[in-house]
Amino acid sequence: MVVLPVLFLGLRKDPDEPPIFPGGWPVLGHAHFFFGNTLNFWKVIKTLSEKSMEMGHATHFFMGPVKFYVPTWKKHRKLINPAFNQQILDNFMGIFNSQSKLLVTRLKVEVDKGPFDHSTYVRQNFMETICLTAIDNAVSEEDAIKYVQSFEAYLNLNISRFIKFWLHSDFIFKFSNIKKQLDENSKFLTEMSDSVLKKKRALRNNGIQKINNETVPKIKVFMDLMMDLDGEVLTDQEIKDEINTIIMAGHDTSANVTIFALLLIGSYPEVQERIYKELQEVLGDKDDVEKQDLSRLVYLEAVLKETMRYYVMAPFVGRFIDREVKLRNCTLKPGYNCLFMMYGIHRNPLWGPDVNEFKPERWLDPATMPKNPNMFVGFSTGKRNCIGKTYAMMSIKVLLSHLLRRYKLHGDHTKMVLKLDVLLKPVTGHLITLEDRLRKK
């Protein structure tokens, strides 16, 4: 496990403490490492991961204070867990299927037209899907897209501040253009979430919906489930915060995994054909993917897990150390903040000599996997792992099932240039081409 504590830069007083990462400056510490843009940010994270392993898997690194709100997280996680139970998620299968078919239709214009950027299509699809499952029809399609785009802008602006160390000062920051843009996005998001909550409250007593002029039971979306707790333990602001988190995390991470997966599948013809064969065996001529089909798509799941291992979506996560932690080569002291380098964990030699190869088959043979289950952190790990991991796997599996039964992909992931803002994302070299399998029959 690669660990990077964020500490005050000073002399190493205790030989049991992790060594100080080289290259720090007085006062600034290591903040200058991140100067530049999001392409440089990704290069720095890779370097830190690799160097940390060389230094014994842990090192001191000064970037200043980081805040964590653990008591609030604990309370909210316990409350919202029921919203992600399997019965609730199974109700979304209809939405997953209809949204997948919509993407298949939208992609028809790209068939046999040469390389194109599929990320735009995929992101829009997941924006719509998460809004349908999180807030239902409380906003229009146009506003839903603006809603999610504002989230992305807000988070990316915070990353921009992070990599510009002079903006760490609140005094300097308040005069910056980034602060102005953050305020504008924050204002829009506040107004939007207020509007959504108001509309949902107006419909609160109406537990039915009309489809083709017929009254049918209404499927509860995530906001409905949050509001079931209303007046007891969650304030209006907390409801909005939880829904905002679900929307942002639910669309961006799933979209990213799908974008990388499609490119990797298009880069390895043998992988693509094995997926197609499995889809034919499991689904046959069925129009929709049913919930019982998902567990039978074993190889497709292996491809998705290998995608998340190979291109880790969140290359690091932060944690606060509240008690002494003994590692093999050193001890982490309580009171410090820590960054876990997920990229380093997924490229650890414990994965075997083929650690740097894309190899879905490794997931089908337990003998080829690391013995420690925490070596895969595609959905983070521990108590604060991703609460929406089942939702994500279900929605992505359904989407890929529809796409790969209809289209044959071509791409080359080795040409891809990456950046790191909130998540790892492609900049160039991620284009794919499409062939329509139905036209060849």
Indicate the annotated binding residues. 386
3-state secondary structure of 427: strand
Q: Which residue has the tokens 């909005």?
A: 240
Alpha-carbon torsion (256, 259, 265, 268), positive or negative? negative
Q: How far apart are CA 121 and CA 145, in angstroms?
A: 12
Q: How far apart are CA 301 and CA 299, in angstroms?
A: 5
Report the C-alpha gap between 354 and 333 in whole angstroms: 35
Q: Parallel, antiparallel, or unpaired: how do β-strands 214-217 and 331-332 relate?
A: unpaired
Q: CA dist 94 to 79, 91, 141, 254, Å? A: 26, 7, 18, 18
d(CA 98, CA 223): 21
Q: Closest by alpha carbon to 249, among 361, 120, 386? A: 386
CA nearest 262: which of 113, 116, 440?
Answer: 116
Residues making up the binding site for heme: 386
Positive or negative torsion for Cα 403, 406, 408, 411: negative
Task: Give CA–CA dist 2/346, Å, rounded.
Answer: 10
Exposed (0-12), middle (13-18) or buried (19+): which is 323, by Cβ within 10 Å? Answer: exposed
What are the beta bridge partners of residue 337?
6, 320
Pairing of strands 424-428, 208-211: unpaired
| DSSP label at residue 32 | G
Q: How many CB atoms lie within 10 A of CB 298?
A: 11
Closest CA to 417 of 405, 429, 408: 429
C-alpha R_g of the chain: 23
> Taking the CB of residue 138, how many other CB atoms lie within 10 A of it?
22
